[in-house]
Amino acid sequence: MPEYHQSISKLAEWIQNSPNTVAFTGAGMSTESGIPDFRSDKGLWTKTDPMQVATVEAMNHRYDLFHEFYSLRIQNVQQAEPHTGHTVLAEWEKEGKLKAVATQNVDRYHHKAGSRNVYELHGSLEKIRCIDHGHPANSENFLNRTPCSKCGSLLRPGVVLFGEMLPQDTWSNALNCIQQSNLLLIIGTSLQVHPVNQLPSMAKGKVVLINRDEVSAAYAFDLVLKGSAGEILQQVNQVIKGE
């Protein structure tokens, strides 16, 4: 059996035998839906400097640019949909094969595909709030630049900007979950962003990487599957189902 197929079979076997599997996803999980990642050839940060648009400073001093960048991202996510890979993870959760998904993604596609136990480490584009007091609003209000209906302040998406803390409860819950896992599936992330790139090293069980490009990490993965997340998850699922 060629090496790739052996790895697919091995992962299927590990998932079936693991009492506690957790997935940790990044932007590469959603590229097959048509949402660009950040650091690949066509990634967002190859065209735009994140410091110009995705920082607290940008929100406070360059709101036009900040608003334009996040409006395009919200519209992109609204126009696309989760793919089969998201659905496979949701199915595994329902079948008791997957405990949780910890994600850096802000598109809510794991929820939309049916996953319930999701830790959104970098927040969510959909959760709009006002900058001054955190009053809730909706995406249409943000896109139309309607000010907060309660206090009149400008609106922002509920994502973690560079310079902001991660949501602490979400972080500690994801960390606990990963520490207790027997099998951690890292999917579609370059592992370049702190502090979430520390999570894989906290795992005590097996750690598997599913990624299109090579990832330089300070530790050895137990298994690496090079390729597209959606295709690989689908293939592993077919082996599990005996198809």
The answer to whether the beta carbons of residues 182 and 15 sit under 8 Å apart is no
Question: What are the phi and psi torsion angles at 209 (to 5°)?
Answer: -110, 125
End-to-end CA distance of the chain: 17
Residues 143-202 contacting ligand OAD, CB under 6 A: 160, 188-190, 192-193
Span of 35-43, 60-68, 72-80, 201-209 interacting with ligand OAD by CB under 6 A:
35-43
122 binds ligand OAD (CB under 6 A): yes
Span of 13-21, 37-45, 65-73, 89-97 interacting with ligand OAD by CB under 6 A:
37-45
Of residues 222 and 231, the one with the C-beta less far from ligand OAD: 231
Residue 150: C-alpha distances to residues 63, 126, 139 (Å) = 20, 19, 16
Residue 195: C-alpha distances to residues 120, 156, 179 (Å) = 14, 23, 15
Nearest to 139 by CA among 96, 75, 82: 75
Residue 207: C-alpha distances to residues 62, 99, 202, 210 (Å) = 41, 15, 10, 10
Residue count, binding to ligand OAD (CB under 6 A): 26
Residue 230: C-alpha distances to residues 9, 82, 89, 156, 213 (Å) = 16, 10, 10, 31, 14
Minimum distance between the CB of residue 219 and ligand OAD, rounded to whole angstroms? Answer: 16
According to DSSP H, which parts of 124-210 are helical?
Answer: 139-143, 168-180, 199-202
Q: Which of 22, 54, 130, 208 binds ligand OAD (CB under 6 A)?
A: 54
129 binds ligand OAD (CB under 6 A): no
Of these residues, 122, 133, 135, 194, which one is catalytic?
122
Span of 22-30, 71-79, 93-101, 137-145 interacting with ligand OAD by CB under 6 A:
22-30
Q: From CA 67, how far away is CA 85, in angstroms rounded?
A: 30
For residue 122, indicate whether it is catalytic.
yes
49 binds ligand OAD (CB under 6 A): no
228 binds ligand OAD (CB under 6 A): yes
Minimum distance between the CB of residue 83 and ligand OAD, rounded to whole angstroms? Answer: 9
125 binds ligand OAD (CB under 6 A): no
The answer to whether the beta carbons of residues 109 and 126 sit under 8 Å apart is no
Q: Which of 104, 124, 139, 237 binds ligand OAD (CB under 6 A)?
A: 104
Q: Which of 12, 18, 22, 37 binds ligand OAD (CB under 6 A)?
A: 37
229 binds ligand OAD (CB under 6 A): yes
Give just the sign of the alpha carbon dihedral 87, 89, 92, 93: negative
Q: Which residues are catalytic?
A: 122
Binding residues vs ligand OAD (CB under 6 A):
26-28, 31-32, 37-40, 43, 50, 54, 104, 122, 160, 188-190, 192-193, 211-213, 215, 228-229
